Amino acid sequence: MAVKLLSGLLNFIYPARCPVCGDIIVPQGESCCLSCRGRLKYVEEPYCLKCGKPLAKEDEEFCSDCLRKNRLFDYGRVVFIYDELMSKSIYSFKYGGRQEYASFYAEEILKRYERQIKEISPDALVPIPLHKSRYRKRGYNQAELIAAELSKRSGVPVLPRLLERAKKTRPQKDLNEAERENNLKRAFKMGRNDVSLETVLLIDDIYTTGSTLDSAAGCLRESGVQRVYFIVLSTSQR
């Protein structure tokens, strides 16, 4: 009873903010504003069977990137379309200190892909790491926060130090495709690993060309991991 009273008092003094619009959630008790939920755009079929990006035509199975690239991951799935709403939400999450948004993101991931996660039965969730200098500046790794919330809900352990950034790369959004791939060559290295892993589920916030996830998957495979999947929060329309 005392815990509920304290929780209610805290909610009154510090009302929860909507992870979509950033305002106080209406109605209270929801994970985001109901009006905002109705505006969210989810990745729906048809989507690429390899990377999960939306496809333009119903009869397509793979996007143009995955048709011409030798992917190092098995396959991945994406939750949201990266539009103006998600851009604002993720920006606040990554750069505005809204770490609590990770809870909403994890809930949405499980609503869409809980069955797939159970099917692949990962040994661990592995967030894409930040370089140490970027981590110090930001104070946290957004992918690690999402993975931690997913771990709480799914029971799959999270290994936030399994992968490390071997070099400080330039922001991918500032580069063309060729520059992105070159930027991420040997970008990751294995951290301390005291466990033997066969199947890993990578977690990240934004999918563009897949170069980051390919580089991470390649590092994991070199260490003996046999199957590498991923779930990413958002991607562009096409």
Q: What is 99-159 written as a DSSP string?
A: TTHHHHHHHHHHHHHHHHHHHH--SEEEEPPPPHHHHHHHSS-HHHHHHHHHHHHH---B-
Under-70 pLDDT residues of the chain: 1-13, 169-183, 193-194, 238
CB 72 within 8 A of CB 228: yes
Task: Supply the pTM of this predicted model.
Answer: 0.90
Same domain? 76 vs 8:
no
Q: How far is CA 47 from CA 76, 77, 118, 215, 235, in A?
A: 11, 9, 20, 22, 11
Look at the chain and report how many structural domains it folds into. Answer: 2
Same domain? 34 vs 49:
no
CB 93 within 8 A of CB 85: no
Specify which residues 165 forms β-bridges with.
188
- Sequence-distant (≥ 6) Cβ neighbours of residue 143 within 8 angstroms: 127, 128, 129, 203, 204, 205
Domain span including residue 6? 1-39
The per-residue pLDDT for 175 is 60
Q: What is the CATH number of the domain that holds 166?
A: 3.40.50
Same domain? 91 vs 35:
no
Q: What's the gap between Cα 35 and its chain centre?
A: 24
The per-residue pLDDT for 142 is 97
Same domain? 81 vs 10:
no
CB 28 within 8 A of CB 15: yes
Same domain? 35 vs 48:
no
User: In angstroms, rounded to a whole number, what is the distance separating the alpha carbons of residues 24 and 167?
Assistant: 39
The per-residue pLDDT for 6 is 42
Same domain? 68 vs 13:
no
The per-residue pLDDT for 2 is 46
Same domain? 69 vs 156:
yes
Same domain? 135 vs 73:
yes
Same domain? 155 vs 220:
yes
